[in-house]
Structure 1
Amino acid sequence: MSSETGAHPLPLPREQVCPFGPAPEVAEIRRDSPVLRVSCPTGIDAWLVTRYADVREVLGDPVRFSSRPGISGHVLANQPPDAPIEEGDFHRMDGPEYLRYRRVVAPAITAVKRTELFRPVVQRVVDELLDALEAGPVDLHEEFAGPLASSVIAELLDVPHEDRSFFCDLARALFDGTTDVAELDAVRLPLFGYLHELVAQRVREPGDDVISVLAAKARAATRPFTELELLKIAAGLLAAGFDTTASTITYGVLALLRHPDQFALLREDPSLAPGATEELLRLLTGGSGVLRVATVDTELAGTPIAAGDYVVAAAQAADHDPEQFADPGRLDITRPRGPHLAFGHGPHQCPGQHIARLELTTVLATLPRRIPSLRLAVPFEEIEFRAETVVFGPRRLPVTWDEVLPAEQPRF
């Protein structure tokens, strides 16, 4: 059904119908209309791009397709795509301006060698949370995935655990489609005040945490960063690192419990965890797409795109493209690894992807071994999924088990 503008409504995930993939109509759209005019929930019209090759082209070409409108302005009213770009809004920048930020963030959190330093920390947190689980049933999202993500972020930035409610609240508000701009500011401003003190402290007394590394790199940059720019980098890392990672862990565990043969493979062989991580990321790639705007008159798959037109690069549709992934709706943790788009593509790839991978891989190598009898505590049909958000997955994950086995060093 088309909107008043003649555009097709933007297909959004409907997990109750397709719990681990795009909305049912996406396959037909990808096949018959791979570049389709759609109307979005926030009122803008855009070109929806659904084939893997085309999505990769959009995300990999910031010269033709700019990040200026922000990632989610097509679905979140609190992130209007035509809003002015303010100081520190690096996620809406391209070219040299964006690279200036990336060069500061990368040494602090993206470098693989630095990521490896966090592996023992993540393993310790995972095991402590599993040790603390009481008899089921429990909500695994509330009792494990959420605390794990927030604890790891708190460790990375050396934020006291008692203060983590600041960034948990920001993450929930930032990715909630019902949060307006005023409500978002009400959460963001106290966080900025807290981070102001934290950054100032790390400048005076630097350590080896992410904020200290950020501050040192920012001061040494050719064009030093302002305090507000540093605050926004830290706030972005805090918010994104909590909600998206926690939801991916919860969603991934649900997918494995829905496919017990795959859970059994991990239980018997934890070394499969890295491959399982990539397969789950591909299968569960976020479903609302990434917003871009065309900077010049161009075309995609033979469809003319005018300068100023919005484009939604549907990474979930791309990661379920049968031209790229055989039998894409099937969860197969032994699938040969392919270049999925769960973390994006091109210069705006998620800077925290190595940490997210480390968390998910640690969970997948540990949870099936330590709780081999893990199972849903309710029928699958009763699982409630998140709505009006860009971070998808179950709201809660009620699980139960027979026993929790003692910790040991995983093999991955």
Structure 2
Amino acid sequence: MSLPVLPLPDEASCPFGPHPEIDALREHRPLTRVRCPAAGIEAWLVTDYADVREVLGDSRRFSSSGGATGHLLASTPPDSPVEEGDFARMDGADHVRFRHLFAPAVGTAKRMAEIRPMVQRIVDEAIDELAGQAHPIDLHEQFAKPVTTAVIGELLGVPAGDRKIFHRTAEAQFDNETTIDEFSAAKQPLFEYVQDLITQRRAEPADDAISIMIERGADFSDLELVKMASGLLVGGYDATAALIAHGVLALLEEPAQLALLRENPDVVPGAVEEVVRLLGATTGMLRIAVTDTEIAGTPIAAGDYLVAMLQAANHDPAQFPDPGRLDLRRDNRRQLGFGFGAHLCVGRQLARLELAVVLGTLFRRISGLRLAVPIDRIPFKRNSPITGPDRLLVTWDEIRPA
């Protein structure tokens, strides 16, 4: 019998959760063999919360060398060699070396406190820009993308006029129909641009993430620094923008929870975690078994691929009662939307900060914000590991001054 295809999101029937088949798989077959057509591989689909956490949390048994989205993207096959600077595909001490350099640039509470005023300014300016436009507008294209572009651009010291270069690379990287050669061609201009930035910062350091990494990374090669900075530029762009748009949509569809957010600013941190739990940020994370082992009593052979389905884990009713409901007061400290273990998302604190500022500002300043079309007419992303609305048409009554 042919294997089933990896269940991808089906927003027509479930706009805020995993594919409807996932619940049945988790209940009856928590590990299921599936085909991943874009990558041309077969894998074990892991859907239970405890099992997903076990796979992601044990890098000695399950390697990240295939790339987190290697099961979805033809441009980054999971069996390709790990090259210099490919930190996201490294394990053990090699990966830890990069994380230690990322932390002071984008991962500490101190750094987030330092850049919070910058994020708040960018969000307010983006809302001010909306006030001068006819509406309805596309909130994803005209608000979320400009916000995340400006934040990651300012964080790394990329001038506004140069930021389209990482848009083009991201669009190529996150399209599962992009070929290896096409992706190689798309990322080369970005690598060359970032190399020029690194050369400039070596000569004239500034207060940006690239300068921090140069200062603290004396033993890092230019290529390693280029790949780190490029990874932040590309990864911090549309993944966060899509999460912002998707989170706004989820809140607009839950008036009681939206009213709670408007009336109680103290729920913003919990709202951020709940949005991440409910929606997830990608269609599973790929791992490769290093040795013969087992998960949930199922034998796993060395070399087998596994797809740890984060959103399925975050919708496991054994861990999160009534998981399909948006509940801003939920205890969701154990949600896995940013991953788990050694490869926990290096940009998670920045994404949290951006989402927190947006949720704490957007609904306060824009009164009567609402969908301009029925939810069943909202197009969602396709052919991409990033989930969320492709366009989100909204309108409003009034935009208040900052």
After superposition, give the CA deviation of every residue in 1:226-247 in whole Å (9 maximum; x if it has no partner). Answer: 1111100000000000011111
Instruction: Check conservation: 2:281, 2:338, Cα contact below 8 A.
Output: no
Q: State how 1:162-181 maps to structure 2 within 5 Å.
A: 162-181=161-180
Q: Which residue of 1 aligns with 2:202?
A: 203
Matched, 1:260 2:279: no
Instruction: Check conservation: 1:294, 1:307, Cα contact below 8 A.
Output: yes
Q: Which residue of 2 aligns with 1:58?
A: 55
What is the rounded CA distance, in whole Å, between the counterparts of 2:158 and 2:317 in structure 1?
43
Q: Which residue of 1 aligns with 2:318?
A: 323
Instruction: Check conservation: 2:36, 2:71, Cα contact below 8 A.
Output: yes
Matched, 1:390 2:389: no
Matched, 1:8 2:7: no
What is the rounded CA distance, in whole Å, between the counterparts of 1:171 and 1:225 in structure 2?
24
What is the rounded CA distance, in whole Å, between the counterparts of 2:198 and 2:57 in structure 1?
33
What is the rounded CA distance, in whole Å, between the counterparts of 1:313 and 1:209 in structure 2?
34
Q: Structure 1: any 5+ residue segments left out of the alignment?
A: 408-412
Q: Which residue of 2 aligns with 1:380?
A: 375
Q: State how 1:26-175 maps to structure 2 within 5 Å.
A: 26-41=22-37, 42-133=39-130, 134-175=133-174
What is the rounded CA distance, in whole Å, between the counterparts of 2:138 and 2:147 in structure 1?
13
Q: Which residue of 2 aligns with 1:191?
A: 190
Deviation at 1:402, TM superposition (A): 0.9
Instruction: Check conservation: 1:21, 1:320, Cα contact below 8 A.
Output: yes
Instruction: Check conservation: 1:289, 1:313, Cα contact below 8 A.
Output: yes
Deviation at 1:176, TM superposition (A): 0.9
Q: Secondary structure at the match of 1:118?
A: helix
What is the rounded CA distance, in whole Å, between the counterparts of 1:226 and 1:259 in structure 2?
49
Deviation at 1:8, TM superposition (A): 2.4
What is the rounded CA distance, in whole Å, between the counterparts of 1:200 and 1:286 in structure 2?
33
Q: State how 1:260-409 maps to structure 2 within 5 Å.
A: 260-407=255-402
Deviation at 1:136, TM superposition (A): 1.4
Q: Which residue of 2 aligns with 1:230?
A: 225
Instruction: Check conservation: 1:287, 1:317, Cα contact below 8 A.
Output: no
After superposition, give the CA deviation of every residue in 1:317-357 in whole Å (9 maximum; x if it has no partner). Answer: 00000000010000111112331111100110011111100
Instruction: Check conservation: 1:267, 1:372, Cα contact below 8 A.
Output: no
What letter matches 1:345 in structure 2? Answer: F
Instruction: Check conservation: 1:12, 1:287, Cα contact below 8 A.
Output: no
After superposition, give the CA deviation of every residue in 1:301-320 in whole Å (9 maximum; x if it has no partner). Answer: 00000000001101110000
Q: Secondary structure at the match of 1:37?
A: strand
Q: Secondary structure at the match of 1:8?
A: coil
- Higher mean Cα deviation, 68-77 or 298-307? 68-77
Q: Structure 2: any 5+ residue segments left out of the alignment?
A: none
Q: Secondary structure at the match of 1:399?
A: strand
Deviation at 1:225, TM superposition (A): 1.1
What is the rounded CA distance, in whole Å, between the counterparts of 1:19 and 1:392 in structure 2?
10
Deviation at 1:260, TM superposition (A): 1.8
Deviation at 1:287, TM superposition (A): 4.7
Deviation at 1:270, TM superposition (A): 2.3
Q: Secondary structure at the match of 2:398?
A: coil
**Paired residue for 1:25, among 21, 28, 43?**
21
What letter matches 2:122 in structure 1? Answer: V
What letter matches 1:401 in structure 2? Answer: W
What is the rounded CA distance, in whole Å, between the counterparts of 2:281 and 2:391 in structure 1?
18
Deviation at 1:267, TM superposition (A): 1.7
Matched, 1:250 2:245: yes
What letter matches 1:39 in structure 2? Answer: R
Q: Secondary structure at the match of 2:97?
A: helix
What letter matches 2:108 in structure 1? Answer: A
Instruction: Check conservation: 2:243, 2:281, Cα contact below 8 A.
Output: no
What letter matches 2:301 in structure 1? Answer: A
- Higher mean Cα deviation, 7-16 or 316-325? 7-16
Q: Which residue of 2 aligns with 1:410?
A: none
- Higher mean Cα deviation, 371-380 or 331-340? 331-340
Instruction: Check conservation: 2:239, 2:281, Cα contact below 8 A.
Output: no
What letter matches 2:213 in structure 1? Answer: L
Instruction: Check conservation: 1:270, 1:369, Cα contact below 8 A.
Output: no
Deviation at 1:62, TM superposition (A): 0.4
Deviation at 1:108, TM superposition (A): 1.3
What is the TM-score with the length of structure 1 in the denominator? 0.95
What is the TM-score with the length of structure 2 in the denominator? 0.98
What letter matches 1:99 in structure 2? Answer: V
Runs of 4+ off more than 3 Å = none
Q: Secondary structure at the match of 1:194?
A: helix
